[in-house]
Amino acid sequence: MEDADDERKRRQRKRSLAIAWILAGLVVLFFIVTIVRLGGNVAVRPI
């Protein structure tokens, strides 16, 4: 009983980590795409 519970927790943790890595990768991808679309000089503008 104890081993099955530990295995379930281990699988759930691996799944959660995989989802977290995928979400982080998507955030980075969207950031890069946004910077490329806006151009590198988006921060250089008159105030």
pLDDT in tens, 30-45: 999 988 888 767 667 7
Query: Between these two residues, 22 and 34, which has the higher pLDDT value?
Result: 22
pTM value is 0.68
| Burial of residue 44, with CB atoms counted within 10 A of its CB: 0-12 exposed, 13-18 middle, 19 or more buried | exposed
E-only strand ranges, 1-47: none
pLDDT band, residue 4 (cuts 50/70/90): confident
Residue 18 CA: distances (Å) to CA of 1, 12, 13, 40, 44: 26, 10, 9, 31, 37
